[in-house]
Amino acid sequence: MRAMPGATVCEKGSNPSCGDRLNFCVRVVDGVVVDASFEGDGCAISTAAASLLTEHVRGMMVADARALDEEHVHALLGITVGPGREKCALLAWRALRKCVG
């Protein structure tokens, strides 16, 4: 969890009813996500998903990052989250989609 000076784009994500808020940033050079990071305050699942996602997209082509779907995020997490935690798991991914969309 860190800030990113020199980010190409940052997008905020929040689950207001839970109190999860994060800021997801990527740095894109020549169509490649050379760096990704997030900062924020969230539950264990949203934080873990955000952290795994930053590692996963680093070095990825923007087009490939854009193609990631919910299933990829669940596969990264490696656990089944219940319906009540779905939005926690997907919070960072939604912000990422805005970054690369």
Partner 1 sequence: MTSNIVKLRGDFPIFHAKPDWAYLDTAATSQVPQVVLDVMSEYHCAYRASVHRGLYKEALRVTEAYEEARATMARFIHAASSDEIVFTSGATGSSNMLAYMLERAHNWKRGDRLLTTRMEHHASLLPLQQLAARNNLALEYIPFTKRNTLALSKLEGLFEEPPRIVSVMLASNVTGAINDVRRVARAARAVGAIVVCDATAAVGHMPIDVQALGVDFLYFSGHKMCGPTGVGVLYGRRALLQTMEPAYVGGGMVEDVSDTYAQWRESPARFEAGTPNIAGVLGLAAAATYLERQGLQSIRMYVEALTTYAYEQLCSMEGVQCVAAVPTKNVGIVSLTVEGIHPHDVVEIAARNNVALRAGHHCALPFHAALGLNATIRASIYLYNTKADIDALVRSLEEARAVFGVE
Query: Binding residues for partner 1, per CB under 8 A?
Result: 16-21, 41-45, 47, 84-85, 88
Task: Give the residue with the Cβ less far from partner 1, 45 or 65.
Answer: 45
Rounded to the nearest whole angstrom, what is the least distance from the CB of residue 60 to partner 1 in the complex?
Answer: 28
CA distance 40 to 21: 6
Task: Give the residue with the Cβ less far from partner 1, 56 or 85.
Answer: 85
Task: Give the residue with the Cβ less far from partner 1, 27 or 46.
Answer: 46
CA distance 21 to 88: 10
User: Taking Cα atoms as reference points, which of 47, 30, 15, 26 lies closest to residue 98?
Assistant: 26
